Amino acid sequence: MAAPHHLAVLGGFTCQDDPGLPAGTRSLLLLGPAEPGYWAHVTAQPEWGAPDPIDRWSRRVIGRMACDLGAKAVFPFGGPPYHPFYQWALRTGRVWDSPVRLLVQAEQGLMVSFRGALALKEVVEVPRAVRPCDNCAQPCVTACPAGALGAQGYDVPACHAFLDSADGAECMNSGCAVRRACPLSLAYARLPKHSAYHMGQFHK
């Protein structure tokens, strides 16, 4: 059901009576972009060209999937209340806290993002994976050209100040240098213009 929309199950976990989840939820599946093909697909949808196109597309597509499955759709936007996608991701065994505190996923590395989740009444097991950072040279730790993101945490004002400078053009046009430094990110087919769009949204 997700594949025609260039979405994938990036992780999931089983649960029962979890606070913050719809009543009766037995499994939560986190959905995110699946490349190659996602960016070309989403920018061709009817929501594109109006405000918040990706959020509105996500509500339509994932909301319809939920209806077809008798499930509930939840999203990482549109609050309050806001759903704890970061904490949910860490429960999946396929997404982890990276050395720079950004989430890192088993296939997509630091390029992972979530468009929504399906809260199912059925138990669905999602295979766990081995945390990739444990056997990695961790180039992400020293990749930030502004020194704003590393093992010490994230200096958001320093990041924005760098993006305002001429030296920040590469991050604005190609995506965050730290995310791009991850070996898994390098192997993932995310387009620079996809990253540039989100950098523009972040740096408004």
Domain count, the chain: 2
Whether 171 contacts 145, CB under 8 Å: yes
Cα angle: 163, vertex 145, 166; to 5 degrees: 40
Q: Where are the alpha helices (DSSP H) in 70-203?
A: 85-90, 156-163, 169-174, 177-181, 183-187, 192-202
pLDDT digits (tens, 9 = 90+) for 39-69: 999 999 999 999 999 999 999 999 999 999 9
Do 148 and 112 have their domain in common? no
7/9 Cα distance (integer angstroms): 7
Instruction: Decide which of 94, 112, 129 is a domain's last residue.
Output: 129
Do 150 and 105 have their domain in common? no
Please give the mean pLDDT across all residues of the chain. Answer: 96
Do 26 and 104 have their domain in common? yes
Instruction: Tell me the residue type at 131.
Output: R
The answer on pLDDT for 79 being more than 90 is no
The answer on pLDDT for 20 being more than 90 is no
Average pLDDT over residues 156-165: 97
Average pLDDT over residues 163-187: 96
Which residue has 């295979």 as its token pair?
127
The answer on pLDDT for 96 being more than 90 is yes
Do 65 and 147 have their domain in common? no
- Label residue 97 by pLDDT band (50, 70, 90): very high
Whether 45 contacts 162, CB under 8 Å: no
Do 117 and 16 have their domain in common? yes
195/107 Cα distance (integer angstroms): 17
| H or E element in which residue 38 lies | helix 38-42
Do 112 and 22 have their domain in common? yes
Do 122 and 143 have their domain in common? no
Tell me how far apart the terminal alpha carbons of the chain are, to the nearest angstrom: 34
Phi, psi of 153 (to 5 degrees): 120, -160
Determine the structural domain holding residue 191 and report its residue range: 133-202
Do 103 and 91 have their domain in common? yes
Do 8 and 94 have their domain in common? yes
Instruction: Decide which of 92, 113, 129 is a domain's last residue.
Output: 129
- Label residue 37 by pLDDT band (50, 70, 90): very high
Do 48 and 105 have their domain in common? yes
